[in-house]
Each structure stands twice: as structure tokens, then as C-alpha cells.
Structure 1
């Protein structure tokens, strides 16, 4: 059973009837029609009363021209147009009823109409820009999901359950990667996190994934797989430097599964896995951690592999820092180890459900990084348990 669910951000708007095209998908805040009408009426009454009190010495009705400009920031084009028409009617009615000079009235009405029209144009431009940004953001997330393999993945040695939640804000789009490959040398797994954010981070992640998929099948040694990915990241950085992009590195953990009760691991500056076994959860101590991929030239030591225990009924949980660096409202980091101790006796799919729900509750639905989690266990007879299609919470990631 696997989940690759996206939790909608609490800050995003729900679809509203009559919304302007693209407004909802762009997450633009909107004031309800009745609320807008009430505030507009109250402000109009207040301005008219004050204007009547101040008389001709200090006319306040012309100040209503600022209302369309304010509406253009928060409202739809339709609402802003309604505000603009209302302001023009109020100003026209008040000036026509006054005893002012004819050309003064004409000038005021012309200025009010122009200012109101500019407010409507500004609103349309804002929504158009927000829609374009939303489309680009959606394209970036779709690209991430197409690069990554859909979960679950079942091989002869491993059943990989997973949780993948890409963040959907353009400036925060990250480069979390994972892959599970069946090879002649056993099952090879990688999970990694590209340094930095944005589309360039996705490009670096794609370069690392492509190299891993090829080398995992070709290379008999796991360290040689890591070296191949290293070379790919270096080549990508060289190309990025030529095009003016920043160079990036990738923290990664590579695992090699065979038929025994041990797993080969090459840690390239990544977070250590957690072992879930016999109802307990513990961090796996890795003693041969090397520099992240793309930074081998800064270290004089070759990458080294080490063995870690993997009993038949155990599971390894590997993850990116979107989990451990999630924060609550007070700025405290997510206590992953503390939570895992409560869930260690559960099945992998249940651990993922609990982790996903608890992360969302802990952070209040506000995230600043992608979340990628894999739980790796020995496949039982018949492979991984299937997810019930009637359960909406069991939708597999398309990434």
C-alpha cells in the first residue's frame, strides 16, 4: 500500500462560484459579494455624512476614487467593475446635486471615471499575472511527478511504499528525488535532495536520476553507482555555469538490497535512515558518510560503502529534510524519532498515513520544502498489499 498524496495548503482558496478565470487556481484571495457590498455601503454612508458636515470647505466625496484601486488588490474584475460603477454614480449624484461650476463637475466626473477604469485594468492585469504564475507552478510540479517513478514499487528484494508531497509554490519548488531499480546485482535505491529551489533544482535532480537509473543496472559495485551519479551532477553543474545558473550539489543515500539480512549503503551527506523492527524505531548509525554528490573534488577520500542490518521483518524508513525541518507555529522542528516510536509496530502503509496526517497537523498545513519518504521492506508472498480504490486517501503518486 502506498500513498503519494498532496495535502492542500491552508492558504489556498477553495473554488468559488463566479470566480474570474484562473483566479482560483492562482490562489488569489477574494472578498465575498455580500461582504463587499456591505463594506461599500458603510464606507459610502460614512463619506457622504462627513462630506455633508464639512460642506464646501472640505469636500470628501472625491476621495471615493481610491475605492476601485483598493478593490483591484483583493477583488475580481467583476467586483472591481461594480465598485467602479458605484463610485462613479455616487460622485455624479453628489456633484450634480451641488451648486458647483459646470466645468468643475465635468472635470471631477472625468477624473473619477479615469481612476475607476485604471482600477479595473489593474485588477485584470493582477489576475492575469497570478494565473500565469499558477500555470507555471503547476507545470513545475507536473514535471517533478513525471520524473519520479509512481509508487509502490515491488522488486524481488524490496517492497517500496512511499509518500511524496511536492510543494506547489514556484519559488519553493524543490528537487527531492527517489528511485528503486531492479538490477542484476540486486535492488538499488536512491533518495536525495538537491540543494536550492526552483526549476534549476529539478534539472539537477533529473540529471542525478538519469545517471542512477543507468548505473544501477550497469555497475556491480554500489560505490561505482555513486561515482556515476557524481559525474552526472558535475557535468550538469558545468553546463549550468555556462548558462549562468548556480552550481548545485545533491545529498543522497544509496542502498543496495540482496537476499541476505544486510543492506549495502553509501551515504553522500544525507540523513541516516530509521530502522523499524520489533515494535521499535531507531536511527541507523552510518560511519562512512561522504560529501554530497557534485562535491567530490573538495574531498580527498573516495566514497565508501558499509553494511547495515536489515532483519527479515524489519523496514527501513528513508526521507528528505522536508520531514525533519518542518516547523510548528512556534518554530520547533518536527520530532520524527519521537513520533516513529509511537508507530513502529504498525504496517508500513499505516506508518505513512500517520506520518502524513501528523506532519500536516504539526505544521498547520504550511510547508516550505518538498516531502519524500520511502519505507523499504521485504516483499511478502504476493507482493505489496494493494490499496483500496474506494479510499481517496490511498491515491498513488504519479510522480
Structure 2
């Protein structure tokens, strides 16, 4: 049996996952700043346009003050320096136009200049605020990405017995981490697999997720039995709830599925109120845990029955699909739940590394857009088949 520590991704697979993570991290970021050629083109082009229009309309028509819209436009996407250049340009052009308009009164000229200075000043203030806000957002995204790397490792995950592909999508995109968590650990007792869903959303759910994930990483390598691992997870949730109550936050429960996989043909499982795994094999997809799930983590005191281990077969050519209820409870516009078991039957013959992408694309089509809950899924294959999945 494996005695290593937590597995890491293989070379090319990790690279692909990292590239995918970078693309996701870039989604929703501000557009790149304007190029200087674009800014200068706006300034020269609009100045010439207004001059030509003014020439044909007559000298008494003063269009130069309309140039103040250019700094406002530049402030929307340009830099502070670009906006300052645009403001200086428009001010100079407006003042020059006033000198050419000898018939204008001094009061009108002063009012026009003041108007231009105030409007340009507002444009500068806007771009300074925008650049500052974007910098703060970038720092928050960087911190969120670092937090995600600490909490949830990129796929694929590899142990002595398993090659695990998967996908993770938090419903709150900017947080990068939600209430769904997963982990795969190589221990002296075989490979331990964990997927869980914390009740609720937001920072309190992330806090509870971090607590239970940390407990699993420790218990997976120190507890010889799967029940011992789950007991440690129960204690971690209770401790977290105790602390949450002290600071005025709501207590939470956690649905979780814990598996123990070794070189044998059968897998140990304890299902704590979680979505049951599916075995994809021979063109079929079937649940592998016929019994009723145990109570979720944090609620053990509500039932006298202890959590028990179930066993199921995991053939060498089979694929195990684990997911959270963000998949099974996704609805289409008519309210119909996503038919995971029916859809998964057609995925048993495709590469395991492609299943997460195929599933999530199909899930988005079913939900007519982005799902409304965190989505996590794991696709497990026996390590002996690593070269062909």
C-alpha cells in the first residue's frame, strides 16, 4: 500500500490545468488600457471634425467646447497620463478657439474656460478612482487565487492507486473558493478520497470548508480506519460550529463522501448525506451505494446509529464519478433537475480527463447558463489505467 504524502499532478496534465486556471482567473477582468495611438486619434480626429463642421456652419458657431467629451471617454479605459494629456489638449484647443472668437464677451469666454477646466478635472478624478479600484480588485483576485491554491490543488491528482481528474467552479466567481471542497491523499492505509459540500455560501461557508478540509488532510494519513477519519471530520465541524456560535455566526453542517481505495477490487465508503457516487462501466452509469446515507457532518448527535462503512466494487476498467449537489440539483428553465445518471451512461467510453469538461458543458446547457450553486466533481480511475485515460 502507498506510504507517500499527498499526490501531485503529472507534468502535462498539471500544465493543462494551470493554463485552464489562468484562463478562468482572467475571466471578468477589466479590458486592457487604451493604446496611445487610439487616444491621439480621438483627439486629432474629433478636433478636425469639429473644426470642419464649424467652418461650414459659420464662424459664429462655437463647437470647440464639445471637445471636453474626449477626456471623459479616455477616463473610461485609459490611464491617468492619457486622460491628463487629453484634458490638456482640449483646454488648449478651447482657449485658442476663444482667442479666435473676438466677438465673444469676456464673461462668456471665462465661463467656457471654467466649464472646460471643471469637466476635465472631473474626468481626471474619475480615472484616478477607476485605476485605484482596479488595483484593489487585482490585489483581491491575487489573494483569492493564492487562497485557492492553498485549499484546493489543481487537477489531475495522483496517488499510488488513483489518477483523479476533476473540475471546480464556485458560483461566486470572484471568490475562486466556495463551500465545496475535495482532496485525494495517499496514506499508509491506501488512497483516501474526500468530497464535501458545506451548507450555505459566502465567507462563513468557506471558513467551515477550510476547517473540514484541514481535518481530512491530517486524519487521512493518521487514522487507520475510515470511521476514524470521519470521526475526526465530525469533531472538526463541531469545533468550528462552537467557534462560530461565539462570534455570532450560524452553525453549519457538511455533507461529505469519504472513500478508501487500495489495490483490491473493492472500495470502502462512508456517505455522510452526500450525493452517491456513480460507476461508469460498459456503457452504463449506476449508483454504487444502495444503502441510506448517514447523517451529515455536524449532526451526529441527532441519531444514535453510528456511521458505518459500505463496500462496493471498482473494477480496473471502471470510472467513478463523484460530485456535489451543484450538479444533481441544477434545474432547467422548466424546473427539471439535471439527469446525471442518464447523461453519464454515455460517458463511460470517453477519456476520464474529458468527462469533467463534457459534464460541465452539458450542465450549462441544461441550466440555460451558469449553474446557481458551487460545482465540484471528481473522476477516478485506477492507477493501472493511467496511461490510457
Q: Could you list the runs of 5+ residues in structure 2 that have no partner in the other structure?
A: 1-9
* Other-structure match for 1:313: 317
* Counterpart selection for 1:89 from 92, 95, 101: 92
Higher helix fraction: Structure 1 or Structure 2?
2
* Counterpart selection for 1:188 from 189, 192, 201: 192
* Counterpart selection for 2:278 from 251, 267, 274: 274
Q: Partners in 2 of 1:218 and 1:178 — Cα distance?
A: 18
For residue 275 of structure 1, report the CA deviation from its aligned partner. 0.8
The structure-2 alpha-carbon separation of the partners of 1:378 and 1:76, relative to structure 1 and needing over 3 Å to count, comes to same
Q: Partners in 2 of 1:73 and 1:249 — Cα distance?
A: 45
Q: Partners in 2 of 1:93 and 1:46 — Cα distance?
A: 14
Q: What is the Cα-based RMSD across aligned positions, in Å? A: 4.3
* Greater relative CO (CA pairs within 8 A, separation 6+): 1
The answer to whether the aligner puts 1:264 opposite 2:268 as a matched pair is: yes
Greater shift in the superposed pair: 347-356 or 58-67:
58-67
The structure-2 alpha-carbon separation of the partners of 1:150 and 1:7, relative to structure 1 and needing over 3 Å to count, comes to closer
CA contact (8 A) 1:237 1:248 kept: yes
For residue 177 of structure 1, report the CA deviation from its aligned partner. 1.9
The structure-2 alpha-carbon separation of the partners of 1:133 and 1:297, relative to structure 1 and needing over 3 Å to count, comes to farther
SS of 2:128's equivalent in the other structure is helix
* Other-structure match for 2:21: 6
Q: Partners in 2 of 1:284 and 1:366 — Cα distance?
A: 29
Q: Partners in 2 of 1:161 and 1:7 — Cα distance?
A: 20
Q: Could you list the runs of 5+ residues in structure 1 that have no partner in the other structure?
A: 14-25, 388-399
For residue 126 of structure 1, report the CA deviation from its aligned partner. 1.1
SS of 1:271's equivalent in the other structure is coil
CA contact (8 A) 2:168 2:377 kept: no
The answer to whether the aligner puts 1:106 opposite 2:147 as a matched pair is: no
Q: Partners in 1 of 2:338 and 2:135 — Cα distance?
A: 33
For residue 28 of structure 1, report the CA deviation from its aligned partner. 3.8
Q: How many residues align?
A: 371
CA contact (8 A) 1:191 1:252 kept: yes
The answer to whether the aligner puts 1:346 opposite 2:356 as a matched pair is: no
Question: Which string of whole-angstrom CA distances, capped at 9 and with x for unpartnered residues, describes residues 111-170 of structure 1?
Answer: 3123212312321221221221122122212222123345544445x3132234455843
* Other-structure match for 2:241: 237
Correspondence 1:60-99 to 2 at 5 A: 62=65, 65=68, 67-98=70-101, 99=103
* Other-structure match for 1:18: none
Q: Partners in 2 of 1:71 and 1:85 — Cα distance?
A: 13
Q: Partners in 2 of 1:336 and 1:144 — Cα distance?
A: 27
Question: Which string of whole-angstrom CA distances, capped at 9 and with x for unpartnered residues, describes residues 205-233 of structure 1?
Answer: 22111211222334344234223212212
Greater shift in the superposed pair: 276-285 or 37-46:
37-46
Q: Partners in 1 of 2:243 and 2:143 — Cα distance?
A: 23
Correspondence 1:327-338 to 2 at 5 A: 336-337=340-341
CA contact (8 A) 2:75 2:123 kept: yes
For residue 47 of structure 1, report the CA deviation from its aligned partner. 10
SS of 2:271's equivalent in the other structure is strand
CA contact (8 A) 1:6 1:165 kept: no
The structure-2 alpha-carbon separation of the partners of 1:33 and 1:355, relative to structure 1 and needing over 3 Å to count, comes to farther
Q: Please, what TM-score do these two structures have when normalized by structure 1?
A: 0.73
The structure-2 alpha-carbon separation of the partners of 1:379 and 1:173, relative to structure 1 and needing over 3 Å to count, comes to closer
Correspondence 1:369-388 to 2 at 5 A: 371-380=375-384, 384-385=386-387
The structure-2 alpha-carbon separation of the partners of 1:39 and 1:61, relative to structure 1 and needing over 3 Å to count, comes to same
